[in-house]
A and B are shown apart, each in its own frame.
Chain A
């Protein structure tokens, strides 16, 4: 069983390493991540949201659902910790 696990790990690692060769270069302006929505954020942030900090506008406005999900995850973690660990002394 351990041998099978080792084979699975080695094969997965080899696939990941071979996939790394197809990644775009570091800071390549023509990489897919840089030509899809990033120019729009960079050009239109101040015009559309009146927020000079681009990170905040992407985090809270363009990707508002994502941040709502993150906040809900934190809230759920807190409530789960209270439910699991809180043990009032009687």
Chain B
């Protein structure tokens, strides 16, 4: 049984670090097609920043920043972005997930449109992975009650 206690050093360091961790997660997602990274890795970093918030403070503080409803909406939104981009390509006359058709919507040539389509689905993957990681951690850490964690 882990007693809950508040440590000013841990809380201050986490409060300072979490914005930079989240910024790095966004960088990994957005820069995924020019350097190592992508949606899965960046989503994991973003989810880990929320889990650090849960560990350093408590679950109520973390849920004040991202409520459960918004978390589940993010879970679904990620998959919707991914499959929606595929469906848009279908509606523009190409195959499913054939991003080169997006050049009808974006002011770029078909080859660059593939790059932008990849960025779009990486964003969707990142949102889904982040929300699912946070959701699974909250359920496992608090025995499904979301009141007090790691007890």
Which residues in A have their C-beta under 8 angstroms from that of B128? Answer: 71, 74-75
Whether a CB of chain B sits under 8 angstroms from the CB of A52 is yes
Contact status B121-A64, CB under 8 Å: yes
Pairwise interchain contact B114-A71, C-beta atoms closer than 8 A: no
Asked if B75 is at the interface (CB within 8 A of a chain A CB), the reply is: yes
Residue from B83, B122, B129, B145 within 8 A of A89 (CB atoms): B145
Where the two chains meet, the residues of A that have a C-beta atom closer than 8 Å to any C-beta of B are 47-53, 55-57, 59-61, 64-65, 67-68, 70-72, 74-75, 77-79, 81-82, 85-89
Residues of A within 8 A of B129 (CB): 71, 74
> Chain B interface secondary structure, helix, strand, loop or mixed?
helix
Give the CA-CA distance A50 to B115 in the complex, in Å. Answer: 6
Give B112-151 interface residues, CB cut-off 8 Å to A. Answer: 112, 114-115, 117-118, 121-122, 124-125, 128-129, 131-132, 135-136, 139-140, 143-147
- List residues of chain A with CB within 8 A of the CB of B147: 89
B65 to chain A, nearest CB (A): 19
Contact (Cβ within 8 A) A52 B33:
yes
Residues of B participating in the A interface, judged by any CB pair closer than 8 Å? 32-36, 38-40, 72, 75-76, 78-79, 82-83, 86, 96-97, 99, 111-112, 114-115, 117-118, 121-122, 124-125, 128-129, 131-132, 135-136, 139-140, 143-147
Contacts of A48 in B (CB 8 A): 111, 114
Given A51-B115, A56-B38, A78-B135, 20 more contacts at CB 8 Å? A47-B111, A48-B111, A49-B118, A50-B114, A51-B114, A52-B33, A52-B34, A56-B122, A60-B122, A61-B99, A61-B114, A65-B97, A67-B125, A68-B83, A77-B132, A77-B136, A78-B136, A85-B140, A87-B143, A87-B144
User: How far, in angstroms, from A68 to B115 measured CA to CA in the complex?
Assistant: 17
Residues of chain A within 8 A (CB-CB) of B139 are 81-82, 85-86
Q: How far is the CA of A7 from the CA of B79 in the complex (A)?
A: 45
Q: Are A75 and B78 in contact (CB under 8 A)?
A: yes
Q: CA separation between A47 and B112, bound complex, in Å?
A: 10
27 residue pairs A–B, Cβ–Cβ below 8 Å:
A47-B111, A48-B111, A49-B114, A49-B118, A51-B118, A53-B34, A56-B38, A57-B118, A60-B33, A61-B117, A64-B86, A64-B97, A68-B97, A71-B125, A71-B128, A71-B129, A75-B79, A75-B128, A75-B132, A78-B132, A78-B136, A81-B136, A82-B135, A82-B139, A85-B143, A87-B145, A89-B145
